[in-house]
Amino acid sequence: MEFTKGHGTGNDFVILPDPDGALDLTPGLVAALCDRRRGLGGDGVLRVVRAAKHPEGVALAGEAEWFMDYWNSDGSFAEMCGNGARVFVRYLLERSLAVAPSGGTLPIATRAGLVRARVEGADVAVEMRRPRLYDTATATLGGLTLPGAAVDVGNPHLVCALPAALDLTGLDLTRAPEVDAAVFPSGVNVEFTTPGEPVDGADGHVLMRVYERGSAETLSCGTGACAVAAVALRDGDRETGTVAVDVPGGRLTVTVTADSCWLAGPAVLVATGTLASAALLP
Ligand SMILES: N[C@@H](CCC[C@H](N)C(=O)O)C(=O)O
């Protein structure tokens, strides 16, 4: 089995080419692949499968050739992965599985519907649904309980601003924040934020750390950055705009429009190799 390793602002993925959907990918195999000591290591797996060959992609096969089958590192599924989509597109283009239409966008099928991608040099930008702020909730970390905004970006997020006296570096994210299961019955990704200094060309600048559902703390979360940007714009009384979001792995730029959300940043392929798969089976 061939694999490629890639990342977007340090959010890293094992990419498995499976054009015909023949691979028996199980939660156990995903968790073994993502194990950072006994496997390849990754925040998740991106299976590259033709939309027509995947039960959850087939409905979109008329609009997109490829389906991003995303799995978290614990073997659970997620509806959407923003950085994953950007790395997925880099993979398709570098392997000549797709061509970037000049001046146009490349459609990709995901569990959260179609996303459209544009390549901008070292960056890949993906257009996703506009984040929807739909509720309020709290996250408790250690002894600290913080109010936050629940945001749907295809997958669920809870965005919590830190009080001015606290610093992101002081957070202990080795354990999952506690959240209200009634608001998030399928779990949630939790972003912690502080305001950043003004950035040229951006309407806002936010620093964030994230604890991801199914993957623990990661260096970056693309959909999380979109959720954070939407909250920053709302707090600035804006419907639309561009927000620079700094994560531990680098900078993402989010542009919220009237009806969608663009996520842009670097997307890198690191290595390709062959799995000795028997050694990885749990
Ligand atoms: N890192 C991703 C989000 C991956 C899915 C998430 N852990 C979930 O379960 O919803 C991103 O870049 O968006």
CATH T-level fold of 132-258: Diaminopimelate Epimerase; Chain A, domain 1 (3.10.310)
Ligand 1 centroid to Cα of residue 215, in Å, is 8
Q: Which of 111, 124, 173, 189 to mutate to test the pocket of ligand 1 (most atoms within 8 A of CB)?
A: 189
**Own/partner long-range contacts of 93-100 (Cβ < 8 Å, ≥24 apart):** 93/119, 94/269, 95/17, 97/19, 97/48, 97/66, 98/65, 98/66
User: Which among 221, 226, 261, 262 is the best mutation to test ligand 1's pocket, defined by most ligand atoms within 8 Å of the CB?
Assistant: 221
Assigned superfamily of 2-126+267-280: Diaminopimelate Epimerase; Chain A, domain 1 (3.10.310.10)
CA of 12 to the centre of ligand 1 (A): 11
212 assigned binding-site residue: yes
pLDDT in tens, 117-144: 999 989 999 999 999 999 999 999 999 9
Question: With a cut of 70, which residues of the chain have pLDDT below it?
Answer: 277-282
Whether the CB-CB separation of 192 and 218 falls below 8 Å is answered with no
Residue 76, pLDDT score: 98
Segment 64-121, tens digit of pLDDT: 999 999 999 999 999 999 999 999 999 999 999 999 888 899 999 999 999 999 999 8
User: Are the folds of 2-126+267-280 and 132-258 the same?
Assistant: yes
Residue 112 CB less than 6 A away from ligand 1: no
82 C-beta closer than 6 A to ligand 1? yes
Cite the active site residues: 81, 221
Is 82 a known ligand-binding residue?
Answer: yes
> Does the Cβ of 162 fall within 6 Å of ligand 1?
no
Rounded alpha-carbon distances, angstroms, from residue 64 to 110, 124, 177, 223: 10, 17, 37, 21
What pLDDT does residue 206 have? 98
Reference 212, options 83, 96, 90; nearest CA is: 83
The domain segmentation of the chain, as residue ranges, is 2-126+267-280, 132-258
pTM of the model: 0.97
Mutate to test the pocket of ligand 1, among 12, 34, 80, 90 (most ligand atoms within 8 A of CB): 80
Ligand 1 contact via 189 beta carbon (within 6 Å):
yes
